[in-house]
Amino acid sequence: MYPLWSRVIRQSVHARVVILLLILIPFGLFAQTTGAQNRGVTLLGLSVQGNRTASADIIRANSGLRVDQEITAESIQKAIQRLWELGLFSDIKIIVDRQTQEGVFLVIDVTENPRLGKIAFKGNKKFKDKKLREEIHLITGEVLSQEKIHQAEKTIQNLYKDKNYLLATVSAQESPQSEEKHTVDLTFKIDEGRKVKIRDITFHGNEHFSERKLRHQMEKVREQRWWKVFQKVEYSQENLLAAETDVVNFYRDNGYRDAEVEKDSIHYDPKKKWMYIDLWINEGNLYKYSDFTWEGNTLFTSEELSRALNVDPGDLYNYEKFQAGMENIRSLYMDRGYLYFQINPQEIPVSTSQVKVNFQLQENYQVSVRNIDIVGNTKTKENVIRRELLIYPGDIFNRQRLIRSQREVFILNYFSNVVPDVKPVDDKHIDLELAVEEKQTDRANASVGYSQRDGLLGSVGLEFNNFMGNGQQITLNYQKSQIYNQFSVGFNEPWPFNRPNPVGFSFFLSNRAGDRQYYLPFDIRQIGGSVSIGHRFRWPDNYFRANWTVYADYKKYSNIQDSTTFDQWNPSGINPTRGVRITQTIRRDSRDRPEFPTQGSRVTLRSTLSGGPLGGNEEYHKHEFQFEWYTPLYWKFVLYSDIEMGAINGLYKNSVIPYDELFFMGGSGLVYGTALRGYDDRSVGPISANGYSLGAKSLLKYSLELRFPISDNPTIYGLGFFEAGNTFLDIQSLNPYDLKRSAGVGFRLYMPMLGILGIDLGYGFDPVVPGGNPSGWKTHFIFGQPF
């Protein structure tokens, strides 16, 4: 009997409950006869005392003890456990009230936890009371246990730790509010302390790399310096461990296979403002690869696998390069359908400076795609998505095709996210799921305004980029002011007759008066239209697209204010002019996403032939080349580079070259022309004596942008730019050293229903006319520009 009761007492003390078990009954009551050593006693009565708000009946019911039933020490132990788990009491005692030969009368004596009254905070400056209340999850009127109080203290302290207040202390004080209702007020006294910043990181044991080099690897834990005003320096144990891993990986990428951080230490300055971190490094030996052996490969030869690994015997041990090589090998197998392929490299040191690697491969089964499910498309029809996929049900699984399919759906720009998932069915079959998140692709604008230059102006426009979820594009626009009005309509079907050969048409009508602000030296009335057809190529690769567009338009000029400019492009003085032209556009686009590409490129070659065998009296040939590429840098920074070149010339000596087909440069490029920030619209290039842009027959421009994302949805990013460009009277005068330079900053925002919004602040370093002043600072607004 005694060992059983001692077990009850030990458990209750551990649970912070005091059990007073008066001698339950003389020993003989538990063993009234020989051979009945394990019998209990009968419970004759059970009462409750000490309860204030809890019902005595509920306490008795939850104890599990029943009158007229036999009880043992184990029964008492379980009763204590059940009542304690209610969380209502701070003390529980089961006491023997009296005893008889027939049994015992017990009393459950409880001390209730108080109810919570008001909650207050003192000393908190970093966090508002509302924030702290939301985090601690305490509600007025609930039963308040010491465990809940300690948990609330810990929660508040962790909030401060997350903000680098590592020395913050929190203590809760209880103040009785109502003795009758047994409620207490709770006040959390907070000493925030100083925000601890990392002052210095010291390395010990590093012989082959300097402290400066090693600190550079610790991106997640950085020292605070006055010049790092934009650097977020946050210490946490998780960040420190991650930074230590980065240091070890740096060593392993440079041949030190066995490098490790043996220990770390943290201490503070006397005022507890600065933190100092010490790391002890064991660099180990420098290793090279001695040999590679392969086991289990049947699909590829050992030589093919070694080439894919891209690491040769004698190379310095490099963990990152080695893992990249293993990923290449996995790609080989997954592109052949071996989704469950496994590769296990075993590194075997053969000396203190060489390591041999034995690869054990399990090729397993080749798997095929059973079903492809599209989920999340609330607007876009399923066939619009499926027709972009490069992998189909029944195909052997191919990871590269799956990744490419994801890209093709993403580049449609109908979705904010596209996530593929592989769902195993059995050893030889899988299902694919493509989860998409729809975004607003249609755009509308309606505005009325007034400007001193244009007077009263207004515009109405609609742009459906995914009309009725069918992937068709429809545009309608009308603009009007005192000096111009313009109407245009366009339609494009990307998959006519379920074939990837897009067709489209457009129609436009405009009237514009001469405007010195935009260097237009005459009034012009223009009407025209176009039809187009496209095609997707499989060679040289399937990123190539081509489009052929036939244009026809009619232009009538009046109020010619600058005959020099007019004669420059129309030496025969023909008025009006009619043009028929065909434009071929060949483009290779491998960008990974449409709005904020992080890698890939876009190359565009556009050639136009007007007149000649096509008819009309506008006779020229025009060629434009643009090469854009995106390079991922540190963190999420992306380097965008762009080269643009162009040339135009007449078919004959006195051929008419339309003024609006010549090259213009400057400003945001929104009116028409090529952008060059830091300069006024169309101000860069040949200018007549009357101040009008003559237009140019050749163009050269180079741009460089450092982009960084601010938000993924909606897409917002900032940028810093440098660019240089110019236009020239003819091809012979093109001079790559005579470029107007500028630099500046800006940002872009892609708004649903509105398209792209942006602003650039650029500084032009060069004068636009010989002997003039530098262009200086210019602000440019971007609206609705295609990406």
Residue 677 CA from chain centroid, whole number:
29
Q: pLDDT value at position 86?
A: 85
User: From edge to edge, which strands make up the β-sheet containing 288-295?
Assistant: 288-295, 354-362, 342-349
pLDDT band at residue 275 under the 50/70/90 scheme: confident
Q: Could you say which DSSP state residue 663 is in?
A: B
Specify the CATH number for 443-783; select among 1.10.10.10, 3.40.50.620, 3.40.50.720, 2.40.160.50: 2.40.160.50
Q: pLDDT value at position 30?
A: 39
Q: pLDDT value at position 9?
A: 34
**Residue 85: burial class (beta carbons within 10 Å; 0-12, 13-18, 19+):** exposed
One fold for 197-282 and 368-438 = yes
Q: pLDDT value at position 268?
A: 83
Task: Show the tokens assigned to 112.
Answer: 């209730």
pLDDT band at residue 451 under the 50/70/90 scheme: very low
Mean pLDDT across 483-503: 91
Backbone angles phi, psi at 435, to 5 degrees: -95, 125
Residue 526 CA from chain centroid, whole number:
45
* 368-438: CATH superfamily: membrane protein fhac (3.10.20.310)
Mean pLDDT across 702-715: 92
In the chain, the percentage of residues whose pLDDT exceeds 90 is 55
Q: pLDDT value at position 295?
A: 95
Q: pLDDT value at position 235?
A: 65
Residue 660: is its pLDDT beyond 70? yes
User: Which of 140-149, 153-162, 408-417 ranks highest by mean pLDDT?
Assistant: 408-417
Mean pLDDT across 306-310: 95
pLDDT digits (tens, 9 = 90+) for 389-419: 999 999 999 999 999 999 999 999 999 899 9
What is the C-alpha separation between 38 and 596, in angstroms, rounded? 78
Spans of all domains in the chain: 2-112, 115-191, 197-282, 288-362, 368-438, 443-783
DSSP strands (E only) in 245-335 = 260-268, 274-282, 288-295
pLDDT band at residue 512 under the 50/70/90 scheme: confident
pLDDT band at residue 637 under the 50/70/90 scheme: very high
Q: pLDDT value at position 515?
A: 65
Residue 165: is its pLDDT beyond 90? no
Specify the CATH number for 288-362; select among 3.10.20.310, 3.40.605.10, 3.20.20.140, 3.40.50.970: 3.10.20.310
Backbone angles phi, psi at 491, to 5 degrees: -145, 145
Q: Quickly count: other Cβ atoms within 10 Å of residue 697's Cβ.
A: 25
Q: pLDDT value at position 179?
A: 67
Do residues 714 and 733 lie in contact, with contact meaning Cβ atoms separated by under 8 Å?
Answer: no
Greatest C-alpha distance within the chain = 135
Q: pLDDT value at position 607?
A: 98
**Residue 781: burial class (beta carbons within 10 Å; 0-12, 13-18, 19+):** exposed
Mean pLDDT across 58-64: 89
Specify the CATH number for 197-282; select among 3.40.50.970, 3.40.50.720, 3.10.20.310, 1.20.1600.10: 3.10.20.310
Q: pLDDT value at position 445?
A: 59
pLDDT digits (tens, 9 = 90+) for 537-547: 988 999 999 99
Question: Between vectors from CA 402 to CA 327 and to CA 502, what angle results, nearest 5°?
Answer: 140
Least confident of 232-246, 253-267, 721-735, 736-750: 232-246
Mean pLDDT across 189-193: 87
Q: What pTM did the predictor assign?
A: 0.68
Backbone angles phi, psi at 83, to 5 degrees: -70, -35
Peptide bond just before 752 cis, omega within 30 deg: no
Do residues 114 and 182 lie in contact, with contact meaning Cβ atoms separated by under 8 Å?
Answer: yes
Instruction: For the domain covering 2-112, report its CATH number.
Output: 3.10.20.310
Q: Could you say which DSSP state residue 693 is in?
A: B
Mean pLDDT across 19-42: 46
Mean pLDDT across 438-442: 84
pLDDT band at residue 751 under the 50/70/90 scheme: confident
Average pLDDT, the chain: 86
> 115-191 adopts what CATH topology?
Ubiquitin-like (UB roll) (3.10.20)
Q: pLDDT value at position 517?
A: 57
Look at 287 and 177; give whichever has higher pLDDT.
287
Residue 264 CA from chain centroid, whole number:
33
- Which residues, including other chains, have CB under 8 Å from residue 361's CB and lie 6 or more apart? 294, 295, 296, 297, 341, 342, 343, 344
Q: pLDDT value at position 111?
A: 87
